[in-house]
Amino acid sequence: MRQTKLTKAARGRECQVRIPRVCNGNPETTVLAHYRMAGTCGVGTKPNDLQGAWACSACHDACDGRRSDIGRAEARQYHAEGVMRTQAQLLREGLVSA
């Protein structure tokens, strides 16, 4: 997988998904977790990196359905909020512009 400016920017960051009782709070495990939504991705195609949230490994597992201790709808809500928090931080740092 090709590393973009935005996927690289996730390294060492605080998790922005922040699922209670799930988040491990370890910035060493943070990656850009893409929010999948009909019309923005497909089989073998990831969404645009702007639709990604900085997520620790535990929150990323929950967002991708690899955990059974949180419901899918709840995980998607936290993931969407994480995308918005990530976008706000990228804007503040000038890594993207409006």
CATH no. for 5-36+44-92 = 3.30.50.20
Round to whole Å and give the CA distance between 27 and 36. 23
Q: What is the pLDDT of residue 98?
A: 80
Q: Which residues of the chain have pLDDT under 70?
A: 1-2, 37-43, 45
Q: What is the pLDDT of residue 41?
A: 63
Residues 6+ positions from 30 with CB-CB distance below 8 Å = 10, 11, 12, 13, 14, 15, 54, 55, 56, 57
Q: What is the pLDDT of residue 60?
A: 96
pTM for this structure? 0.87
The question of whether 60 is a catalytic residue gets the answer: no
Q: What is the pLDDT of residue 40?
A: 61
Round to whole Å and give the CA distance between 5 and 36. 20
Q: Are 63 and 17 in contact (CB under 8 A)?
A: yes
Domain ranges of the chain: 5-36+44-92
Q: What is the pLDDT of residue 49?
A: 85
Q: What is the pLDDT of residue 2?
A: 66
Considering the candidates 15, 17, 32, 34, report the single residue annotated as catalytic: 34
Q: What is the pLDDT of residue 87?
A: 96
Round to whole Å and give the CA distance between 19 and 73. 12
